[in-house]
Amino acid sequence: MKVLGIESSCDETAIAIYSEEEGLLGHKVNTQIKLFEEYGGVVPEISARDHSLKIIPTLRDALAEHNLSPSDIDLVAYTAGPGLVGSLMIGETVAKTLSKICKIEILPIHHLEGHILAPGLEERSLQPPYLCLLVSGGHTQILNCKAYGDYEILGETIDDACGEAFDKVGKLLGLSYPGGPKISKLAQSGNSSRFSFPRALMNEKNLNFSFSGIKTSVLYALEDLEKKDYPDVAASFQEAVCDVLIKKLQLALHQTKQSRLVCSGGVAANFNLREKLKCLAKEENVTVSFPSLEFCTDNAAMIAFAGYIRKKYNLPKYNTNSARPRWPLGELYD
C-alpha cells in the first residue's frame, strides 16, 4: 500500500508518500515563512493563494522523484482540519480531484492526529498506549492515547498555546516571525535564572495550562531593559514555559501510570524542552519519543502516516466531507 499525504492547513504546502513496505519514501515542504515575516504572522488570504500556486508543482515533484504516477497510489490522505479554511480547501480540492479522476480511495485526516502519530514515522515499533504532550502552534494538550483513534484530552490551555506565547514574546523581543525557534536560539546565550516569570497553574492539581500572563510579564520586564538583556529574557521565559509543561506532564504520568511518553508538534523541536523531557523520563523510569525536527512542524509525512494507520487498522472514518477550520480532537466522529 502506498499513501499520498497532502497538508495545507496553515503556512506549509506539503506532499508526502508513505509505503507500507518501505516506510516514508519522501516528502516535500514549501514553507511560507518568508511571505509573512513583514506581517509578523500568517495572512490567511495570502496563504491560500500561495498554496494554490505551489501544490500542483509540489505534487508532481514528489511523484517524479520516485518514478511514480497517480495510478501507483492506493490511498490519498489529506488534512481536513483544523486550520485556515481557505488553505484547507486547496489541499482538499486536490485530494478529491485525484480521488475522482484516478479512482483512488480518499481519507480526511485530523491535523492533530497527524502530530500525535508523527514519532511512529521513524520509530516504527511505537504504538499506543502512551501519554502525549502535544505542543503545536495553536494547541497545548496532554493526551492519554489509549489506542489508535482513541485520544482522551486530560488537560489543555485555557488561553494561549505555548507556541503562540513563544511567537508573541518573540515579537516583543523584536524577532522576526516565527518567534519560537529564534527565542530558543537567543536563549542559548542567556541566563535562565535572571528573571522569575510567572508559572501559571503549575501547582494546581489539574492538567490545564495558561500562558497569557507570562507574555504580559515579559512586556513589563522589557520596559527598563536594553537589547543586551534580551538573551536573559528569552532564556528565563523559555525556562518558565518548560517548567510548567514538565510539571503538568509529570502529574499526568502519575495519574495514568503510562510507561511511554511522546512529545510532538512545533514546540517539540525546542532543545531545552527535549532535554527536560529526557530527564523526566529517566526520573520516572519511562521511555520518551520525539519526531525528528523536520517532522515537528507541519508536514505531509505525518498525514500520510496517519492515513496508513487508519487504513491498516480499519478505523472508522471521520464524519466529515469538507474542510473544518475548527475541529476539536474530541469530536473526531461527531
Residue-wise pLDDT tens digits, 194-245: 999 999 999 999 999 999 999 999 999 999 999 999 999 999 999 999 999 9
Do both 160 and 204 map to the same domain?
yes
Task: Tell me the residue range of the domain where 309 lies.
Answer: 2-117+295-331
Pairwise CA distance, residues 290 & 297, whole Å: 12
The answer on 167 and 31 residing in a single domain is no
- CB distance 264 to 134 below 8 Å: yes
Report the distance separating Cα 151 and Cα 134, nearest Å: 12
Within this chain, do residues 65 and 138 fall inside the same structural domain, yes or no? no
Number of domains comprising the chain: 2
One domain for residues 46 and 105 = yes
139-147 and 12-19 beta bridge pairing:
unpaired
Residue 192 lies in a domain: yes
Residues 104 and 242 in one domain: no
Domain contains 284: yes
Q: Which whole number is the average pLDDT over 154-173?
A: 95
* CA atoms lying within 13 Å on the CB side of residue 91: 37
Q: What pLDDT does 159 receive? A: 95
- Hey, is 15 helix, strand or coil? strand
Closest CA to 32 of 45, 17, 19: 45
Confidence band for 330, pLDDT divided at 50, 70 and 90: confident
Q: Are residues 234 and 139 in the same domain?
A: yes
Residues 285 and 300 in one domain: no
**Any domain includes 143:** yes
- Please check whether residue 123 lies inside any domain of the structure: no
The dihedrals phi and psi of 276, each to the nearest 5 degrees, come to -70, -35
pLDDT by residue (tens digit) across 254-274? 999 999 999 999 999 999 999
d(CA 143, CA 261): 10
Q: Look at residue 122 and tell me if it is in a domain.
A: no
- The answer to whether the peptide bond before residue 231 is cis (omega within 30 degrees of 0) is no
Statement to judge: residues 201 and 55 lie in one domain: no
Query: What pLDDT digit, counting tens, does each position of 269-294 carry?
Result: 999 999 999 999 999 999 999 999 99
Question: Do 106 and 52 lie in a common domain?
Answer: yes
Euclidean distance between CA atoms 185 and 176, whole angstroms: 13
Q: What is the CATH number of the domain that holds 9?
A: 3.30.420.40
Residues 180 and 274 in one domain: yes
* Ranges assigned E (strand) in the chain: 2-7, 12-19, 23-31, 75-81, 105-110, 130-136, 139-147, 150-156, 260-264, 287-289
All 3 cell numbers of residue 182?
A: 529564534
Q: Which residues of 18-49 are buried (b: 16+ CB within 10 A; e: fewer)?
A: bbeeeebbbbbbbbbeebbeeebebbeeebbe
For the purposes of burial, counting CB atoms within 10 Å of the CB of 319, is it exposed (0-12), middle (13-18) or buried (19 or more)? exposed
Determine, yes or no, domain membership for 74: yes
Residue 285 domain flag: yes
Same domain, 202 and 76: no
Query: Do 262 and 318 reside in the same domain of the chain?
Result: no
Please provide the size of the chain in residues. Answer: 334
Q: Is residue 209 part of a domain?
A: yes
Cβ(106)–Cβ(95) below 8 Å: yes
